[in-house]
A and B are shown apart, each in its own frame.
Chain A
Amino acid sequence: MTITLSGISKTFGDITAVHPLDLTVPEGSFFALLGASGCGKTTTLRMLAGLEEPTGGTILLGDDDITHLPPHKRPVNTVFQNYALFPHLDIAENVAFGLRRRGVKSVREQVAEMLDLVQLGDLARRKPRQLSGGQQQRVALARALINRPRVLLLDEPLGALDLKLRRQMQLELKRIQTEVGITFVHVTHDQEEAMTMADSVAVMHRGRVIQLGPPAELYENPRSTFVANFLGTSNLFEAEILSPQSTLGPRAEAAEKGLKPVEAGMSAEGETPERAETPAVAGTAEVSEGTSAAEVPGETRVKVAGADVTLRLPTSRCAVESVEGAEGVEEGRKILVGVRPEKIALLHPGEAEAVPATDNQLTGRIKDAGYLGVSWQYLVETPACSDLTVYEQNVERDTRLTAGADVVLHWRPAHTFALDAAQDAAAGEEVL
């Protein structure tokens, strides 16, 4: 069932938990509401469940208005945080609870079937407190799913589990969702969990949805510093637009129509359409001193603040709001340039000529190199940013890249994004 929230809002006294919110959750999707605690995600979920009366707006389930329906009359079930299993009932009775309340006579078969689905068939007569956290979690899931709800709501369902079990349950949940085909709405503060499981993610911050899209799109094309920092890590540094090439190239035109995020095709894979067209353009572009000064169609050149470095990025990846009397991407406009740490490659200065001419390039000195097992994490001091983070896969590492060594950093323009400078560059950082 498609869920349509229109203008839904909730205030508690003077505090606005959720600002008027429009959201559509397509049928059969795994939808995540992601945000730090207190961002309004749980309140939104509770309004869907009927446990919280909205201050304004409407909630449609398919074509039915359920805004003012009490929770027991909604075809929606919830997996609560800490599970909320009934301590006075055994596992089978917990699972049967919903069926019994609706007057279903013979529940035994369905309960057994459901317990098998979550692999707890032999624990039917135990009490909830005799079960481990992971088992309780699965009981809570079975108790909700047995009712065949049209929408299943999950409120931080894996928050109380340890890391390994959480990973396992993430896959399990995804499997069950695919199996039963029910729309799942999942609330979490764990960006990794949201990205692993959800088809689309709504990032909430201070009672508002600030960006919505498939996980890869959010990650590749953050539209605000909050999303850039909250989902993974971003290197952000100040810069100034030199020459916007917004009128050239099909990509830029698409971008002008309301600065829509780049199509999913680009973000889903590491390889981007941008990249595909670069070689053709690069052939005609003049290249000088590593930093390309040439004007490439669809690309904007920016000058890094406080350093004589020019970088290039697709104009379509400039999430810069238009201000009065000026379009967003224009000369002299202050921006924040961003690049993800894993997109950056490190080279010893002696191999600098191997850097593709079209790449963005910086020089710096390694401040710190940390071994993470699967990768190395470098902290590099550069003219653009004194703490540039770089992740390198732990494969054939250049042993010269140690703390104190000079390095050349480079990455593709297509992996660069720009954000409005008029926001806190550290927003969303100190979470977890």
Chain B
Amino acid sequence: MPTSTAPRTPGAAGPSSAPAAGGPPSTSGPAAPPTSGPAASRSLGAPLRWLRRNAVVLAGCAALAYLLLPNLVVLLFSFNKPAGRFNYAWQAFSTDAWTDPCGVANLCGSLGLSLRIAVLATLIATVFGTFAAFALARYRFRGKSTANALIFLPMAMPEVVMAASLGTLFLNMRIEFGFLTILIAHVMFCLSFVVVAVKARVMSMDPRLEEAARDLYAGPLQTFWRVTLPLAAPGIAAGAMLSFALSFDDFIITQFNAGPSTVTFPMFVWGAAQRGVPVQVNVIGSAMFVLAVAIVLGGQIVANRRKKS
């Protein structure tokens, strides 16, 4: 419980300062007002004490509310029945959008495209990012620090700059804008996040575990499959999930590198927003939010159960 970490303000009237105030006149306060007896300070102290004990919890709840409120609004308005084209004012409760999520032209097509790109980009970035992370964490080679810096670059650079320069590159190489250009762009920025996540994990791994495996008759390949990979798995999973989320919701880079027929879900939403966002967008957004929360909660429950058994 965070109660013990709550800061103790020295001036506040608490149980520790109450006896001092009620005792014989001290050097610091000989002219103390007669009202500040032990009883008075206790009645004032109770709510303050409660506040002090629960300050961290309160702050945490406030932060959570700040984070969750937009999602709740999106969820709420997915049950709206808007009067006009704009879904900005509450009209009436309806489950129309939930029963027919693909009721808007091109919405589900763009969702499918986004999912395909996200899955493919995640796969490619995770495989190559893991290789790169192992190389950077385990070996010494020429140009290692340069490689490290270059991998950080996509994360540090403004997205719009990267998007524009990639677009220029594709244009000059006469590569037709479309699925492939989006995929290449997504793999590029996802790679950085995978490398960072996996590298952190690999560097914290005890090299003696692999030595122990080799000592116990595991050849190099078996050592990798049986020990190295399972140990690095949490880092790889983190990198993959990050990649998926980033790729799925990327707008700027996709916008610069997409063809006329490749409209991803974020692009669809942006386009729709010009004319009025359909309620189905709220449905898709809420569904993904609920799904993500469910996955996290499920993981926690499984982990807890495993810990207990």
Contact = CB atoms under 8 A, between A and B. Distances in A.
Q: Do A and B come from one complex?
A: yes
A101 B219 CA distance: 8
Contacts of A97: 213, 216, 218, 226
Interface stretch (B14-22, B191-199, B204-212): B204-212
A71 B215 contact: yes
A49 B215 contact: yes
Contact of A86 (B217, B219, B222, B227): B227
A98 B218 CA distance: 7
A303 interface: no
A101 B217 contact: yes
Contacts of A50: 214-215
Contacts, number: 64
B231 A87 contact: yes
Contact of B217 (A51, A88, A147): A147
Given A87-B231, A88-B231, A102 B211 contact: no
A144 B227 CA distance: 17
A73 B208 CA distance: 18
A80 interface: yes
A77 B216 contact: yes
A187 to B, nearest CB: 14
B212 A84 contact: yes
A101 B227 CA distance: 12
Contacts of A51: 211, 214-215
A68 interface: no
Given A51-B211, A88-B230, A88-B231, A72 B218 contact: yes
B215 A72 contact: yes
Nearest to A76: B215
Interface string A79-91: 0111011111000
B216 A101 contact: yes
Contacts of B227: 86
Interface residues of B, number: 19
Contacts of A85: 212
| Count class of interface residues, chain A | 20 to 34
Given A84-B206, A86-B227, A88-B231, A78 B212 contact: yes
Given A86-B209, A87-B231, A101-B222, A70 B217 contact: no
A101 B212 contact: no
Contacts of A125: 309
A60 to B, nearest CB: 19
A143 interface: yes
A51 B216 CA distance: 12
Most chain A CB neighbours (cut-off 10 Å) among B206, B213, B216, B226? B216
Interface in A110-159: 125, 143-144, 147
A101 to B, nearest CB: 4
A85 B209 CA distance: 7
Contacts of B208: 80-82, 84
Most chain A CB neighbours (cut-off 10 Å) among B213, B215, B230? B215
A129 to B, nearest CB: 10
B235 to A, nearest CB: 13
Interface string A318-362: 000000000000000000000000000000000000000000000
8 contacts: A72-B218, A76-B215, A84-B206, A84-B211, A86-B212, A87-B231, A97-B218, A147-B216
Interface of B: 206, 208-209, 211-219, 222-223, 226-227, 230-231, 309
Pick the 9 closest A-B CB pairs, nearest first: A98-B216, A84-B212, A101-B217, A84-B208, A71-B214, A88-B230, A101-B218, A72-B217, A78-B215
